[in-house]
Structures are given as structure tokens and as C-alpha cells.
């Protein structure tokens, strides 16, 4: 039995939908399927296998069901397949409004609802009218949700789509389970999510009304919502035998990201109108807002939250996980208002932000019954709502402090510690004329140093001139702290007081109140574990780039001692840093490598010089003793009968003196290289034309063919140091690769564009292939040298140091040559622009 067959058997036996963990438990206990490694089946494996067989299984609200037992899925699949077929036949074109094909699909489904051949299963299997009624609504909902997701991916529609898990939670709220309901929609969304609410509350009677503002809802969406209301009234409405007044519930989803200049913030307009006008048009309001509006320091938001809190109509606040609006990373919250409340009841806060979206429906009972669960839900009296900001974020009240207050310390939120604050913006580098060396330096996330509390801009950092700032003057700061918290990586640097900076995107600037805290102390405290834990708590955004926004940053709590204690602790930190600095000043492994390379390079000329000097000393002493004259052609060592002319020539006085002079020259050359290597640590960068440099180098070599290719490329670099790198690689090729070869020696220098931030420079030649034991790591650590090539041990070491100073990389391409390509050796250098 395969795993999917085992899943099918378990569902058939159980006769109702099951969770993946329940299915896994049954399979393991009955050993319906055993893995080869004997490891028990996990729920994740069940979920993966279910996803591989959409023709057999369906998942809804976290439960798995068999397709053949699910009328809604069968109906949905039939119509969906027809829609896909129409698309593939190009019968639906871009000239048709995006909603038109969906309307056609809905009409097709409605026309065939009673066709038994459609589902190929006896309708009787599904029970009486309620079952069929629910299946039809579920099929319509699935069709709409699937279609709108496809259209959003194709970018033919541009508005919000509610996540399926959130809709499942919405549908299970108690307010929709009353026997007689009127639902009023107030959103710019397509109202297809109402189909799920109607399906989950099939025993209730509903009337659907629309109160959406025409200024926010598009004509296409409005027309589609009217079409859905007609469909419901025509095919699903029941005769009401209930005499009592219906429960009036309004679902409010305000336009995301829109701001008005009216006194009332758009997020709370409908609710505040109900509260302030006291018209009592509603019993319940279900409001979906961005989390930021619950904590915003905007005065209008604070006033709105004050009215809402003091009105006593706010009943429950649910903090939701990211992704409630499909294809966005906006964090949302659900606010439930009960306008029937008369007594001063407590507010119920629930945090579901840690849950996965399919798990949301599992908390419906907790919300409906107001069950208090530690670190998950809590009841709070209106009097305990923070009066300064009227903060309504659940985690603010559920969050237990991860630290105990130290004696003599005071606890502050960052918002109360600061005298000023700013957030950087996304600046257009081209139109804003940013360039290396501008008057006002731009601070980016990559410019902040995690290993230091002080910001030290380099001379060639990207900047902008004063007369080019325009609106960016709003981002001009000096002193204080520059802080970034992207992807939960926190960096905080103190800025100089005598220099202006421009803060870039995702950079926060904090100006601490000097009467409470020193800049340096706060920068250090922000990196303490108990603070970082809070950073993680308040980080939000998409899963790809989680961010800590300024409003959330201001909620972070830190404990601060008196200024005297801060000064003492900072002095202690300074002393500790001095100890670390002294340790850092000890000889490093890299410096040891340099010393070894220097010794290795000097070994050959000094050994030769020593041997020649000893022989010459003995020869001269003999001449002095015997008072003989000197002859440059005379040998300075004894000559044997089998010595050839080359050996005799090597040991003549003239050759020995020339060799000693050359050894001294070699030593001088090696020491010059060593000095060059030591002083290479501080490159003088400026904007250079890389191709011009390559062409200049090309003209310096007459004994080898150099071919330059690639477009004109400008980058920030030290021109002289780049030339040193290229000269070393070319000289190595000439000395080693082309030695004893009769073919035409050729070197290719090619500029390649890697991406917007880096370029690649390929340096390759058609000389001899490198030996198998050659590695780029050894080459950069200590170079290579032979008896025939004095001083060559510094080449690789020097190249590595220069490229490191330029924050680049060098690699050896081992997949070249093979007697197919014209070159056998290729080095690839990657440099930032």
C-alpha cells in the first residue's frame, strides 16, 4: 500500500475530514504504511502527499477530505477546468474585464447544480437540502477565491484578496450564527468571502446590504458585488419565519495605505460615526485594520483610539499573522465592536500572529468564548489601556517583560527617551545626484558597523551636495544614533556632532535626551539580549525582509541608570576595549604569513650572496698572501677536470661580482615589495574608468598579446593598486605560463557586468595549465616562488591584500581549457562599483 492509498483508506473509514496529524497517528498505530528507514510518518509528510494528489484530496480549514466525498470540490473542479480550457483556447482575451469570465463560471456552475452527471455521484449521498446548500456555496467560494488569485498573479486585477484561513475564522464568529442576520459590507474588496460566511452558518437567514463608499471602490468590483448579491437572492435566499429584528453586523475593510486630511482617520471612520452620532444603526461591527493604526503616534489616530476605548463598545482585538491580505506582507488586526454593551466590560485581547494562516480557524472558539490563555489571550480593563497613546495592540499587553529591573535603574520606552527622531526614505540616487565624495554622506544599512558604537564614514562614501538636496533635507541629521533593524539584524552607531548626514531607507535616527541618557550608553544597551528579544517581537513585514518600523521601535523598553553610573560603565567599557585592542595588536596569522613569505623570498638571494662572499673572501686572502695580481677572468674557486665552460664562467671573478650585485638588487626589490605591501592597507579611492586602465596596461607590454573587451565601466577604486594586481597576474603568466612555450602568448582582460552592485574582471591566458595542487587560498596566503623567480612569493599575498581593501573577491576558474577553449588559466576578480 502506498502512502496516498493509506491516507485514502483512513479517510474512508473515518467518514469525515481529519487533520494531517490525526491521519499520521492512525497510519502509524495501524502500520498501514511503513517507511524504509522505519521512521514514523509525520504530519508534514501527510500534507505534502495530499498536495501531490489534488484529484483525490482536498484541504479546507486545516482538515483533509476525500474529493469524492466533497460535493463542493467536485463542482468547483468541473467549472475551474472549463475556465482553464477557455483560457487555453484564447476565448478569453485581455479586452474582457477580469470579472467577466468569473461571472460566466458562476453562471455555469449555477445552471448545472442539479445535474447529477456533473458530480458523477448520487446527490443523495450528501444528505438533505442543507448539505447541498452548503456545498453549492462552498463551490462558489472556492471558484471565486481560486480565480481571483490567478488574476492577481497575472496582474490583471489590483486589489486585496483575503486569505482563505482568515475567511474561515471570520465565518465562525458568533455574530454570524444568529438565526436572523443583516450583513452590511463596507469595503473595496470583492465580497466573495461572504459566501463562506453563508456556508458556515447555513441554518441562519441573511440579508446582504452594501454600504461601500463609491470613492474607494472600483466600478468593476462594485458591479461584481452587485452580481453576487443577485446570485444569492436568486438561488439561496430562504423565506423568513422569524419575527424578531435581525442582528445588524457591518464588515468594514478600509482602503489600505490611504490617508485623508479629514479630522477622522479613514481606518476608524465608520465606527466613530456610529459612536459619535449615536444613531444605533448597528449591533456589531467587524473592522479589519493595519496593525500600525493601533499604535500610531499620529494625533488623529490617538484621539480615535481614545474615543473607541472610552466608548465601551470595543469588545475584542485580534492581532493576526502576516499574509491576511494575499500577496502582501502587511500585518493586520481584527477589531470586534458590540454596540449593545451597557456596562464597563473588559477588553479581550488575542494574539494569533504566531499561528500559520491555515491554523487561524482553530482560535474561533477562544475568541467567541473569551477564553484566557497565558501569553495568548488576556482581558484588560479600559482603565489599564495606556493613556498616552491608547495603545490597542494585543502583544503590548500579553508581552511579559524578559528582564527584571535592576536596582537603581529606571525603565523607559524609547519613545520617552528621545528628544527627536526620524526615519530615512528611499532616495532616488540618479535624480538626486548622489556620488562618491558628496558633501552630505548617505548612511545605508551596509554602512553601519556592528562591531563599533561609532559611525566612521570613509572619505569616498556616497553622498550628495547641499544644492542637490531638495526635499531630502528632511532626512538630514547630525549627532544622535543611526539604527537599522532589517531581518532582525540590529546595528546602532553614534554619529559625529560636527557633520551632517542623509539617512537612507530603513534607517532610523534617534536623538536621546541628554538629561537622561548618553548616546554611547544607549547604543550599547540596544544590543543587549533583553532588548534584542523585543526587537524580534516587534519586527514585522514580509517573510523575505522583516523590518522594525519606527512606531514599533518606540515601544522597546530599556533600563537606564543615572548619568553618573552610565559614565562609570562607559569608562569601564573603554578600559575593556583597550585590553581587547592590545590583544588585537598582537601578531595575527596573516601577519605571520607575511613574515614567513618575506623570509622565504629573502632566503634565496641571501644564501647565494653568503656563498659567493665566503668564496670571494678566501680568494682575496690568498691573493693578498701571495701578492698576486687580480684578473677578472680568473676563477675564484678551484676548477676540476670535468668542469665545463659554463661552470668555469660562473665562478670567474667578474661573474661572481655581478651575481653579488644582482643579489643585493634582488634584496632591495624584495624589501621594496614588502614596503609596498605594508603601505597598501589604505587605498586612495576615486571614480576610475576600468577599461581605460586595461588599455593603458595593454600598451605597457610588447612581448605578449593582450586583448581587452567589455564596455566602459566606472567604479570607485585605487587606480594604482588595481594596476599592481593586474601587473602581478600578467607577470606571473609571462614567467610561469609562457615559459618555454613557442605558441603566441595571449592574455585576455574582459569586463563583465555581474549586477547593479558588482562588476567582474576576467584575467585569463593561454599558457601552461596550473598544477593540480595549486589553490587560490595558498596563492593569496603566501604566493609561489621558485629558485628562478626571485621575490615572486609576494605577488599573491599582495593581490589578496589589495582586493580585500577594495571589499572584492578573487577566484580561480578551474573549469577552463580542456583543449577546447583558447585559454588554460582564468582568474575572476569581483569588485564593488
State the CATH architecture for 682-832: 2-Layer Sandwich (3.30)
Query: For 710, left (φ over 0), alpha (ψ -120 to 50), or beta?
Result: left
Q: Which DSSP helix (H) or strand (E) runs through 398?
A: helix 394-398
In this predicted structure, what is the pLDDT of residue 755?
A: 67
State the CATH architecture for 159-398: 3-Layer(aba) Sandwich (3.40)
For residue range 605-633, what is the model confidence (pLDDT) as tens digits?
A: 777 777 778 788 878 888 888 888 888 88
Closest CA to 164 of 335, 325, 330: 325
In this predicted structure, what is the pLDDT of residue 116?
A: 45
Count how many residues are written for the chain.
833
**Residue 730 pLDDT more than 70?**
yes
Unique residue bearing C-alpha cell 465565518: 171
Q: Compute the mean pLDDT over every residue in the chain, rounded to the nearest whole number.
A: 79
For residue range 245-259, what is the model confidence (pLDDT) as tens digits?
A: 889 999 999 887 665
- Assigned C-alpha cell, 437: 565624495
State the CATH architecture for 410-580: Alpha-Beta Complex (3.90)
Report residue 627: phi and psi, to 5°. Answer: 55, 45
3-69, what's its fold? Answer: Arc Repressor Mutant, subunit A (1.10.10)
What is the C-alpha end-to-end distance of the chain, expressed in Å?
59
Unique residue bearing C-alpha cell 563583465: 752
Is there a contact between 446 and 506 (Cβ–Cβ < 8 Å)?
A: no
What is the value of pTM for the model shown? 0.51
Confidence grade of residue 118 (pLDDT, cut at 50, 70, 90): very low
Q: Could you give the CA distance from residue 399 to residue 406 in angstroms, rounded to a whole number?
A: 19
Comparing 510 with 399, the larger pLDDT belongs to 510
In this predicted structure, what is the pLDDT of residue 579?
A: 58
In this predicted structure, what is the pLDDT of residue 341?
A: 87
Is there a contact between 317 and 288 (Cβ–Cβ < 8 Å)?
A: no
In this predicted structure, what is the pLDDT of residue 675?
A: 65
For residue range 804-833, what is the model confidence (pLDDT) as tens digits?
A: 888 888 888 866 544 444 567 889 998 887
Mean pLDDT of 97-123: 64
In this predicted structure, what is the pLDDT of residue 412?
A: 92
For residue range 29-75, what is the model confidence (pLDDT) as tens digits?
A: 888 888 877 788 888 788 878 877 877 888 776 688 887 666 666 66
- Assigned C-alpha cell, 251: 464588515
Kindly give, in sequence order, each residue whose CB lies less than 8 Å from that of residue 729, ignoring residues fewer than 6 positions away.
763, 799, 827
Residue-wise burial string across 788-811, b where 16 or more C-beta atoms lie within 10 A, e elsewhere: ebbbbbbbbbbbbbbbebbebebe
For residue range 131-149, what is the model confidence (pLDDT) as tens digits?
A: 677 878 888 888 888 888 8
For residue range 522-550, what is the model confidence (pLDDT) as tens digits?
A: 999 998 888 887 886 677 654 445 677 88
Q: What is the largest CA-CA distance in the chain?
A: 142
**Every domain of the chain and the residues it spans:** 3-69, 159-398, 410-580, 589-678, 682-832
Mean pLDDT of 651-674: 77
Query: For 31, left (φ over 0), alpha (ψ -120 to 50), or beta?
Result: left
Mean pLDDT of 275-283: 83
Q: Do domains 3-69 and 159-398 have the same CATH topology?
A: no
Is there a contact between 364 and 334 (Cβ–Cβ < 8 Å)?
A: no
Amino acid at each position: 500500500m502506498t502512502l496516498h492509498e493509506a491516507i485514502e483508506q483512513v479517510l474512508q473509514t473515518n467518514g469525515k475530514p481529519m487533520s494531517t496529524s490525526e491521519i499520521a497517528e492512525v497510519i502509524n498505530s495501524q502500520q498501514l504504511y511503513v517507511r524504509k528507514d522505519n521512521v514514523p510518518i509525520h504530519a508534514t509528510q501527510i500534507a505534502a502527499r495530499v498536495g501531490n494528489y489534488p484529484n483525490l484530496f482536498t484541504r479546507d480549514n486545516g482538515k483533509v477530505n476525500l474529493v469524492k466525498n466533497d460535493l463542493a470540490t467536485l463542482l468547483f473542479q468541473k467549472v475551474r477546468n472549463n475556465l482553464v480550457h477557455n483560457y487555453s483556447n484564447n476565448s478569453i482575451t485581455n479586452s474582457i474585464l477580469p470579472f467577466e469570465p468569473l461571472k460566466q463560471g458562476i453562471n455555469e456552475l449555477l445552471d448545472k447544480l442539479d445535474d447529477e452527471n456533473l458530480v458523477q455521484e448520487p446527490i443523495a449521498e450528501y444528505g438533505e437540502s442543507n448539505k447541498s446548500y452548503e456545498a453549492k456555496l462552498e463551490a462558489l467560494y472556492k471558484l471565486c477565491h481560486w480565480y481571483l488569485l490567478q488574476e492577481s498573479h497575472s496582474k490583471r486585477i489590483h486589489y486585496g484578496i483575503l486569505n482563505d484561513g482568515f475567511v474561515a475564522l471570520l465565518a465562525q464568529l458568533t455574530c454570524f450564527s444568529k438565526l436572523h442576520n443583516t450583513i452590511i459590507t463596507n469595503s473595496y474588496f470583492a465580497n466573495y468571502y461572504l459566501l463562506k460566511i453563508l456556508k458556515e452558518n447555513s441554518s441562519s437567514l441573511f440579508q446582504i446590504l452594501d454600504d461601500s463608499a463609491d470613492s474607494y471602490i472600483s466600478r468593476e468590483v462594485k458591479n461584481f458585488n452587485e452580481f453576487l448579491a443577485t446570485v444569492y437572492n436568486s438561488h439561496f435566499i430562504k423565506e423568513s419565519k422569524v419575527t424578531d429584528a435581525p442582528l445588524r453586523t457591518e464588515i468594514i475593510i478600509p482602503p489600505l495605505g490611504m490617508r485623508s486630511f479629514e479630522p477622522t482617520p479613514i481606518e476608524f471612520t465608520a465606527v466613530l460615526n456610529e459612536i459619535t452620532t449615536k444613531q444605533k444603526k448597528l449591533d456589531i461591527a467587524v473592522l479589519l485594520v493595519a496593525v500600525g493604526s493601533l499604535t500610531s503616534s499620529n494625533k488623529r489616530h490617538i484621539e480615535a483610539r481614545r474615543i473607541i476605548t472610552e466608548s465601551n463598545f470595543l469588545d475584542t482585538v485580534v492581532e493576526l499573522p502576516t499574509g491576511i491580505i494575499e500577496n502582501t506582507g502587511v500585518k493586520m488586526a481584527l477589531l470586534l465592536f458590540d454596540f449593545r454593551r451597557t456596562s464597563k466590560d473588559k477588553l479581550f485581547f488575542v494574539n494569533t500572529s504566531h499561528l500559520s494562516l491555515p491554523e487561524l480557524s482553530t482560535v474561533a472558539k477562544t475568541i467567541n468564548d473569551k477564553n484566557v490563555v497565558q501569553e495568548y489571550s488576556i482581558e484588560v480593563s479600559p482603565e489599564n489601556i495606556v493613556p498616552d497613546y491608547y495603545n490597542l495592540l494585543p502583544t503590548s499587553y500579553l508581552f511579559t517583560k524578559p528582564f527584571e529591573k535592576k536596582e537603581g535603574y529606571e525603565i523607559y520606552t524609547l519613545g520617552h527617551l528621545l528628544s527627536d527622531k526620524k526615519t530615512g526614505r528611499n532616495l532616488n540616487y540618479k535624480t538626486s545626484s548622489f556620488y562618491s565624495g558628496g558633501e552630505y554622506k548617505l548612511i545605508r544599512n551596509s554602512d553601519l558597523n556592528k562591531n563599533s558604537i561609532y559611525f566612521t564614514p570613509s572619505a569616498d562614501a556616497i553622498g550628495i551636495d547641499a544644492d542637490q538636496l531638495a526635499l531630502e533635507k528632511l532626512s538630514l541629521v547630525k549627532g544622535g544614533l543611526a539604527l537599522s533593524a532589517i531581518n532582525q539584524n540590529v546595528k546602532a552607531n553614534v554619529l559625529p556632532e560636527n557633520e551632517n548626514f542623509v539617512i537612507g531607507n530603513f534607517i532610523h535616527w534617534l536623538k536621546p535626551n541628554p538629561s537622561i541618557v548618553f548616546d554611547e550608553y544607549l547604543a550599547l544597551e540596544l544590543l543587549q539580549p533583553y532588548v534584542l528579544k523585543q526587537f524580534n517581537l516587534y519586527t514585522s513585514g514580509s517573510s523575505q525582509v522583516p523590518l522594525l518600523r519606527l512606531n514599533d521601535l518606540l515601544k522597546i523598553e530599556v533600563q537606564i541608570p543615572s548619568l553618573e553610573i552610565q559614565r562609570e560603565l562607559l569608562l569601564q567599557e573603554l578600559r575593556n576595549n583597550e585590553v581587547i585592542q592590545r590583544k588585537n595588536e598582537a601578531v595575527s596569522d596573516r601577519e605571520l604569513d607575511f613574515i614567513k613569505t618575506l623570509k622565504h623570498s629573502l632566503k634565496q638571494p641571501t644564501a647565494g650572496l653568503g656563498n659567493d662572499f665566503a668564496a670571494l673572501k678566501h680568494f682575496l686572502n690568498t691573493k693578498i698572501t701571495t701578492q698576486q695580481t687580480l684578473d677578472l677572468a680568473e676563477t675564484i674557486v678551484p676548477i676540476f677536470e670535468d668542469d665545463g665552460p659554463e661552470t668555469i664562467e660562473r665562478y670567474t671573478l667578474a661573474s661572481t661580482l655581478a651575481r653579488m650585485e644582482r643579489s643585493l638588487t634582488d634584496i632591495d626589490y624584495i624589501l621594496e615589495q614588502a614596503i609596498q605591501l605594508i603601505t597598501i592597507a589604505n587605498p586612495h579611492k576615486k571614480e576610475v574608468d576600468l577599461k581605460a586602465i586595461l588599455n593603458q596596461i595593454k600598451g605597457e607590454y610588447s612581448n605578449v598579446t593582450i586583448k581587452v573587451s567589455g564596455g566602459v565601466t566606472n567604479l570607485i577604486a585605487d587606480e594604482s593598486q588595481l594596476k599592481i594586481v593586474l601587473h602581478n597576474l600578467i607577470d606571473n603568466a609571462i614567467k610561469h605560463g609562457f615559459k618555454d612555450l613557442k605558441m603566441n602568448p595571449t592574455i585576455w582582460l574582459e569586463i563583465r557586468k555581474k549586477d547593479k552592485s558588482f562588476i567582474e574582471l576576467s584575467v585569463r591566458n593561454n599558457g601552461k595549465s596550473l598544477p593540480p595542487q595549486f589553490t587560490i587560498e595558498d596563492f593569496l596566503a603566501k604566493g609561489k616562488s621558485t629558485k628562478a623567480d626571485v621575490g615572486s612569493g609576494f605577488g599573491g599575498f599582495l593581490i589578496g591584500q589589495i582586493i580585500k581593501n577594495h571589499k572584492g573577491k578573487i577566484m580561480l576558474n578551474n573549469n577552463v581549457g580542456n583543449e577546447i577553449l583558447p585559454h588554460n588559466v582564468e582568474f575572476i576578480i569581483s569588485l564593488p562599483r
